[in-house]
Amino acid sequence: MDKNDKHKIKSQKLKEKVDANVEKATIERGIVLVITGNGKGKSTAGFGTVARAVGHGYKAAVVQFIKGTWDCGERNLLETHGVPFAVMGTGFTWNTQDRDSDISAAKAVWEQAKSFLQDPKYHLVLLDELTYMLGYDYLPKDDVIEAIQNRPENQSVVITGRGAVSELRSIADTVSEIKDIKHAFRAGIKARQGVDW
């Protein structure tokens, strides 16, 4: 048997396997997708999913639990497509040292997140950097988990951020971990507009 025949048999077998799995997937409902890990690309992937939803004419909403920079390319674009953004008010960033004010900012934006999670008109809700709110105990875990689980059946939720706690992983349908292999920043290259925000 030559290389081409071998390849043909191998891909035929693979196709049968994939087709069988596709047939098995019959459930229609929204999912919870967690994108975690230390590598770059979590928020980018979350916003990519929002772009997909909007591109198909669905409604999507974005909640940003950490404001990295005041300027946000995705927000500039998506707001013009009717995507509402809820952003942590007093500006929780890596620099704040005031736990109490961070907690009240977290709670305020969480109330907005909850209203999106109760509204069936949203096909997709992005909870960007939510993981830290649970990691630091800024928001009550039970309340967050319950709101996500009780969302409308056809709504999907994307959660990003490093160190997703086990409770988030267990309610998720899909969990991806982005691995940090190397990052330009560590070679002294400045974060770039239009690439990093």
Q: Smallest gap, in angstroms, from Cβ of residue 4 to ligand ATP?
A: 41
Q: Does 67 bind Mg ion (CB under 5 A)?
A: no
Tell me how far CA of residue 107 lies from CA of 5, 83, 124, 168, in angstroms: 61, 21, 21, 18
Site residue total, ligand ATP (CB under 6 A): 17
Residue closer to Mg ion, measured from CB, 44 or 119: 44
| Tokens 């969990």, located at residue | 175
Q: What is the CA radius of gyration of the chain?
A: 19
Dist CA 158 CA 154 (whole Å):
13
Q: How far apart are the first and last CA of the chain?
A: 52
Q: Does residue 43 touch Mg ion according to CB under 5 A?
A: yes
* Contact range with ligand ATP by CB under 6 A, out of 23-31, 40-48, 106-114, 116-124: 40-48
> Residue 61 Cβ, how far from Mg ion at the closest point, in Å?
17
d(C-alpha 89, C-alpha 164), whole Å: 23
**Stretch 3-42: interaction string toward Mg ion, x if CB under 5 A:** ---------------------------------------x
Burial code of 109-119, b = ≥16 C-beta within 10 A, e = fewer?
bbebbbebbee
Residue ranges in contact with Mg ion by CB under 5 A: 42-43
Binding site for ligand ATP (CB under 6 A): 38-44, 68, 129, 160, 162, 180, 183, 185, 191, 196-197
